[in-house]
Structure 1
Amino acid sequence: MSLSTIVYRLRLTPMIAGVSCLIGFAIVLGSGTLQPVQAETRQVNLTLTSGGYANFADLRQQAEAMAADSIQQFFLQNPAADEVSVKITGEHNGTEVPLLFLTVSRSNWKQTPSIQAWARYFSSSEKLLGFIKPQPVGLSIALIDTQYRQALKEQAAYRDD
């Protein structure tokens, strides 16, 4: 064998080995033995009735406890799940209003099992559920009218002195 034939075969051998590996890898992938892991996210929707709570802070605290319990139970019952979304809705006299919403991964929940770290709260919930009573509009208009008349009386152009 000539030197050029030996050099040619040495160059060709790594290329053939590389192609063989790629073909073998493609066959293994095609056979279904290696499958990518897919993240599983589920939505948990819960409703909390506001009837027995004296104030909104107590209702919110119960919603947080309910969310924490549901996350814990969800991850225990669904070992393949990587992420969960939880929405807690408050109900009062037939009106349903979102109280909090969160999405958390299993690893983040293990690291920081705190609802406050992951939750988004809805600021208008307290008012919409009736924990904050709206100020009567008529009283506000009367107060503004009185203040306006007083300001007019104090202006020099209005005075008769």
Structure 2
Amino acid sequence: MPAIGKKIRIASTVLMLSSSVPLWITSEALAPQIVQAYTARADLSIDRFPEENYETLLTRAETAARAAAQRSFDQDILVTDVSIMVSVQNYGAIAPVLELKVSRLQWRTRPDPKRWATYFKTARSLLFFGGKFSTTPDANSAPPTPPASVPQNPEPKPGEENAAPPKK
């Protein structure tokens, strides 16, 4: 008798597995999977180069934002949106210059940071471009004039053989 009970248990286990496995596979194939999409966020900071004007700095910020957005979409297939904030440091002053917010579909259609970026207009003045606090001349500003107390063409002192001749 124990052999019959054992056969019944094996038969019921085989029957249960043979009917539940195909049912599970069918339900997994037909039911949509839950996808967890999300926005990738990144904060980038770049330093201003000496003698760099604001337009060149914006071009570098756009290039950095473009690379970060592309990298975010390439690294994770679940990322649906990207938000990149680019800040600039200029002699101790730090200010955001642009924010790039774009969806994967928009980026695939047109991967141009100028199209999807928001530019912060006050960044130019916060970073001291073109203002009285600028430590290097801006491309849009007039060249500085020397103070009145410093002569334009100083005369060479006696005994200086290698002095340049005065300009005419």
Same-fold status (TM-score > 0.5): yes
For residue 84 of structure 1, the aligned residue among 82, 85, 88 is 82
SS in 2 for 1:67: helix
Normalised by the length of structure 2, the TM-score is 0.57
Q: What is the aligned partner in structure 2 of residue 65 from structure 1?
A: 63
Deviation at 1:37, TM superposition (A): 2.0
Over the matched positions of the two proteins, sequence identity in percent amounts to: 30
Structure 1 or 2: larger helix share? 1
**What is the rounded CA distance, in whole Å, between the counterparts of 1:104 and 1:57 in structure 2?**
23
1:83 is paired with a residue whose SS is strand
Show structure 1 runs of 4+ deviating over 3 A. Answer: none
Rounded to whole Å, the distance in 1 between the matches of 2:121 and 2:42 is 21
For residues 44 and 52 of structure 2, the distance between their equivalents in structure 1, rounded to whole angstroms, comes to 20
Q: Residue type of the partner of 2:73?
A: F
CA RMSD of aligned residues (A): 2.1
Q: Is the 8 A contact 1:86 1:101 kept in 2?
A: yes
2:41 to 40, 43, 54: 43
Could you tell me how far apart the structure 2 residues matched to 1:53 and 1:38 are?
A: 46
Name the residue aligned to 1:104: 102
Long gaps (5+) in structure 2: 1-22, 134-168
- Within 1, Cα distance between the matches of 2:100 and 2:129? 23
Check conservation: 1:67, 1:86, Cα contact below 8 A: yes
Gaps of 5+ in 1: 1-23, 136-161
Mapping of residues 11-160 of structure 1, within 5 Å: 34-134=32-132
TM-score (norm 1): 0.60
Q: Find the aligned partners of 1:102 and 1:53 in 2 and give their Cα distance.
A: 26
**In the alignment, is the contact (CA less than 8 A) between 1:53 and 1:59 conserved in 2?**
no
Indicate if the aligned counterparts of 2:42 and 2:84 stay in contact, CA closer than 8 A.
Answer: yes
